[in-house]
Structure 1
């Protein structure tokens, strides 16, 4: 059950400049609403405050969990999102180490990746390999498992990375993008055929779909944000530029981005903002950052929620806040997946300074 839930959550997942600078330096003195700037004179910035809140949500200091049909399950993919967020913010390094140690524990690892024989999941394998690399580890030996070799074994002749599973193939644009990002960091590099396959999935409007090879190609913000980063790092700037232009065309007046349901939210905006800054679109990134700042819980919020980033700015929902916060940190810092590193990150979970 944990395996299937993790894959479901993985798929679900893989769905002004002056104003920005001013917001980045506001304090928590007397915000007008719960969603206000949680920065402080003591140096706790937006991304640090968000990552600090996320670190405090780790169950037993090691993992994040989700509730599905009233039952709580550990979520390896969401926990890896936290690992990326800690590295991007440069804080909570101790939490990142414990979280990765939990995901790479053999029983937890295999429930997420599959056994490598009858069951092997491309997206999960690639995401874990990238997280190991971000934390300075060796993805060719993760508890005796060579994630790089396993990932390469899942590449089809046409270049697509696919699942090997009795449950079917659930690989998508996120799977392909994470595979390229992880393999680009290896001595052999990412396979050109895999990058070409991803580029060929581009929709006529320039964006990229979550699920390739569908009768109607529908561009998706989250998928495009990941694809753009993977294509840039694998030497396909023209294909990446098309995706960036599409992102710019769908950015809202308030700087935010909406998901497939049309809801402006922190998840889609966080990933899009990350891709925009990584793709040298600073003005659009600054506007997206303003939107994310407006979703961050400040001093008017409950003490336990301060620093978190709400999904859509409505009533604070703990059930969606962990994923929203993790991806918002990526947008707030603008550090692309290809450049993420936990090197130099400090331990501890920063807390916003409220009067």
Structure 2
């Protein structure tokens, strides 16, 4: 669009320029970000969003409900960034409280959820704890009890079976850290869900096998941990084939976002695809909220680069940190993590 200015406006602009050149007071420069990629600052922002410094909640119809899954995502993000270790400890302590824990993984008698049990067991192991004794509950034994003869881990619930590729993958990743290791059947079942194009679906046994970015990213990490490198390589090749020109990855909805890109980037670096990882990392860095934003938002990673929404930014930031560092779930540790919630350095 061409904008034409009247002579009056041109004169006003000219006078304004002259005034600016003759004023003694220098202009104040906008703050600039120090460093292009700051996973530690992203982890710091995430830590500051925790309710009471220990948990995340989901609000539905005006009522806040505990969100143990998102809280564990934050635990993984803190470990990946090597930051906010004290917040990670407080978050895991909250999730493992008996009432909170059982509301997430089930009571083990009438309700037992494979994915939740596996994810909690992995988080405990990442933080150096013992998943065979979490407040008196042996998460590993319970997880193994949910494995069917086919190798698939399924839920015990009156509401139905909600297990999926994440459930199976987290189960394998959690069991990989145990003395007994990963059951051969479990890895074989997961490898057998592969779609013809090489990717992996979120839900198995569908009429049409549709590869999913998020599912494939976690599946390939689990398969690599279980020693199924060829099956993992097929998934990695598929991920590279669907990476967008801008380096991002799109979810099933078709929108490139921090969540899908974070998980895919994590899998790519862990799987030895450095060029694709760097491209994805650059996309994620472009979504990190910088110094031009309000102080309270700086360091967060936006979901898709649109209008910043703290409600979606928490999960987006948690999963983006995994991609920014590229540390796979199988290698996460808090052995050298530091306490505190880092801020985005501006000047």
Query: TM over 0.5: same fold?
Result: yes
Corresponding residue of 1:165: 157
Report the Cα offset of residue 38 of structure 1.
4.6
SS at match of 1:67: strand
Is 2:299–2:343's contact at 8 Å kept on the other side of the alignment? yes
Give CA deviations for 1:4-44 in whole Å, capped at 9, x if unaligned: xxxxxxxxxxxxxxxxxxxxxxxxx857xxxxx8545xxx9
Provide structure 2 residue ranges, at least 5 long, that are not aligned to the other structure: 1-28
Give CA deviations for 1:60-107 in whole Å, capped at 9, x if unaligned: 010011222332211000000000000000010000000000000000
Instruction: Give the one of 143, 163, 179 matched to 1:151.
Output: 143
Corresponding residue of 2:131: 139
Alignment of 1:346 onto 2:338: yes
Alignment of 1:299 onto 2:291: yes
Corresponding residue of 2:239: 247
Alignment of 1:316 onto 2:331: no
Is 1:178–1:230's contact at 8 Å kept on the other side of the alignment? yes
Is 1:310–1:321's contact at 8 Å kept on the other side of the alignment? yes
Corresponding residue of 1:112: 104
Corresponding residue of 2:223: 231
Is 1:38–1:45's contact at 8 Å kept on the other side of the alignment? no
Is 2:114–2:146's contact at 8 Å kept on the other side of the alignment? yes
SS at match of 2:80: helix
Corresponding residue of 2:204: 212
Q: Structure 1 39/96 Cα, relative in aligned 2: closer, same or farther at 3 Å? A: farther
Report the Cα offset of residue 302 of structure 1.
1.0
Within 5 A, what are the aligned runs for 1:15-54? 30=30, 38-40=33-35, 46-54=38-46
Is 2:259–2:303's contact at 8 Å kept on the other side of the alignment? yes
Corresponding residue of 2:266: 274
Distance 1:108 1:176 in 2: 23
Distance 1:277 1:202 in 2: 21
Q: Structure 1 211/102 Cα, relative in aligned 2: closer, same or farther at 3 Å? A: same
Corresponding residue of 1:89: 81
So what's the TM-score if we normalise by structure 1? 0.88
How many residues align structurally? Answer: 319
Instruction: Give the one of 48, 54, 64 matched to 1:72.
Output: 64
Corresponding residue of 1:263: 255
So what's the TM-score if we normalise by structure 2? 0.90
Distance 1:146 1:38 in 2: 46
SS at match of 2:236: helix
Give CA deviations for 1:234-265 in whole Å, capped at 9, x if unaligned: 01000000000000000000000000010100
Q: Which has the higher contact order (CA 8 A, sep 6+)?
A: 1
Distance 1:39 1:228 in 2: 34
Distance 1:320 1:71 in 2: 17
Instruction: Give the one of 99, 102, 118 matched to 1:126.
Output: 118
Distance 2:133 2:254 in 1: 42
Report the Cα offset of residue 213 of structure 1.
0.7
Distance 1:193 1:202 in 2: 15
Give CA deviations for 1:112-165 in whole Å, capped at 9, x if unaligned: 000001100000000000000000000000000000000000000000000000
Corresponding residue of 2:178: 186
Is 2:56–2:66's contact at 8 Å kept on the other side of the alignment? yes
Highest CA radius of gyration, 1 or 2?
Answer: 2
SS at match of 2:308: coil
Corresponding residue of 1:286: 278
Is 1:222–1:271's contact at 8 Å kept on the other side of the alignment? yes
Is 2:75–2:91's contact at 8 Å kept on the other side of the alignment? yes
Provide structure 1 residue ranges, at least 5 long, that are not aligned to the other structure: 1-28, 32-36
